[in-house]
A and B are shown apart, each in its own frame.
Chain A
Amino acid sequence: MAILEIRNVSKFFGGLAANSDVSFEVNEGMIMGLIGPNGAGKTTLFNCITGYYPPSKGEVVFDGKRMNGLQPDKVCKLGMARTWQKVRPLAKMTLLDNVMVGALCRTNSLKVAREMAMEQIGVVRLEHKAGFLAGGLPIGERKKLEVARVLATRPKLLLLDEVMGGLNPAESEDIIKLILDIKAQGKITQMVIEHDMKAIMRISDRIVVLNSGEKLAEGEPQEIVNNPEVVAAYLGTE
């Protein structure tokens, strides 16, 4: 069953079509990979889906509800949470407080929020950093903070925007394991933007390829690597 339907979504910035007529569905429980060269419109699509700005055309349906025009806070409450490609830590708050802000989406009690937050901090294995200011953490840990913080909002659909960008191989491996663990638990559907081809091929059940704002291809990882158009798009821009 589709938890997310993207129907003919376009987004224009002045004359530039950052997304044009993109359609696809994400089924419950799966990991959907979203790839494409830099500037293909991946982040823009995340922004349209999560209400950061409304799509210029088309619609986004989540869990049977039409999302167009809903503000990000409503979208989060409905169970869709995203991380940011350019990390956005709440710098002068501790790691624990950052994750608690996520948890407070589901509770009014600081005590409950603290327990929920510690649980997610455990999931990303940063217990020893819980009391540190978020702004002072190295990039790898700030990426993990983002993941713990959105997990604490108890999402049904998780949108991860290049969470492995800037990480060393060991840290990337941690994140891959984390994404696969989440899938194994079966409660959260994931859509993942990633530049590392090996990683995305390994984790995705299906992949959508964007190029210059348009959907270039969609299919299982094997189909995608063997698709001449996809290969050309990547070779053409490298």
Chain B
Amino acid sequence: MKSFNNRLASIRGAGTVKIVGVIAVAAILFAFPRFVESPYALHMMILFFLSTLMGSSWNIIGGYTGQYSVGHAAYFGTGAYTTMILLTFKDIPPWYGVWAGVAAAVVVALVIGTICFRLRGPYFVLASIAVAEIIRVTALNLTDLTKGAEGILLTDIPPFMIGDTILTDFSSKVPYYYISLVLALLMILVTWLVQNSKLGYYFQAIREDQDAAHSLGINLTIWKNAALVISAVFTSLAGSFYAIFVKFIDPTTVLPLDLSVQIVLISIIGGIGTIFGPVVGALVLVPLSEMLRSNIIAQGLINSGLVSAESATGIFLKEHLAHAHVLIYGILVVIVILFMPEGVLGFFRTIVARKRKGAA
């Protein structure tokens, strides 16, 4: 009993350290734009917050509840399209539009949940992909509403006002920085609340063993849908934010399978079913995809002398590596699954635990 109480106490102690750590990091992040003005740096931070938001949202249904949805682009796209359509065609400002997007995503989630949660394991995965693809193809063909493949371009955003005071006119990256930061922090808070409530226990019980969970009084339909709805709400917010931030959406940017896979990877690479796993995943993936995009890796290989710029390989790498992100992600996932089954975060936790044991 004593050792158990000690253990509990040390867990609580670790909790306090974590909370202080999170508050300190949050404070630094809030101050960041005062010291760094580079739009590029802000842009990267915004992508990091957005990825954290997307990964953590998926983590609720995939990581905690164990339902591997590979169709989350559906909720991202629903948020993006709802907000964008209301803004460009109906002049409804985005701070109302996002809530319409959230409502639409909840409806989509409940429809998808009703269809897909009858299925288990790989069948659920395939069904989630199929439904998201149906939505993408629908968006592509509902040209009256979505402009189809042409996409929707946003020309100007109304300033964000409270009463008569203009809070921001969105002319720099700073307002986007703060909005995405608040969304990411909110999602981390939501994850913490889930983990420390009946929801978290029921979600994890379903993940560990559906039949056992069912026989312990857990209504699978209700609780799986609850997890999916929470996940969809925040994925939709991410989509709405993306639409306003990038100012252009079409089915291949906000509804593709590619995006669904990326959302899953953030969480899997970082570590599923943990509060900070997706944060770590975003820390790995955002710089990686930026390096691929800007061809830093190919350039690095050439500069380091490993590959000659004139050789066939060098030319091939320079031309194609930037477009090979799917391949690189695939390799990364294989590495993580083989060597870090608990994700990058879990991997480092194990190492720290081992060192402590060694020291003790």
Contact = CB atoms under 8 A, between A and B. Distances in A.
A88 interface: yes
Contacts of A72: 211, 214-215
A147 B207 CA distance: 21
A153 B204 contact: no
Interface of A: 50, 52, 71-73, 75-77, 81-82, 84, 88-93, 97, 100-102, 104-105, 108, 110, 113, 127-128, 130-131, 149-150, 153
Contacts of A71: 214, 219
A134 to B, nearest CB: 8
Contact of B216 (A91, A110, A127, A153): A153
A52 B216 CA distance: 12
B208 A92 contact: yes
A131 B7 contact: yes
B4 interface: yes
Contacts of B220: 73
A104 B202 contact: yes
A90 B211 contact: no
Given A84-B212, A92-B208, A105 B4 contact: no
A88 B273 CA distance: 20
Contacts of A93: 201, 204-205, 208
B216 A101 contact: yes
B4 A130 contact: yes
B329 to A, nearest CB: 26
B197 A110 contact: yes
Interface in B193-211: 196-198, 201-202, 204-205, 207-209, 211
Contacts of B217: 73, 76-77, 102, 104-105, 153
A52 B1 CA distance: 37
6 contacts: A76-B217, A90-B204, A93-B201, A102-B216, A104-B198, A131-B7
Contacts of A150: 216
Contact of B219 (A50, A73, A84, A91): A73
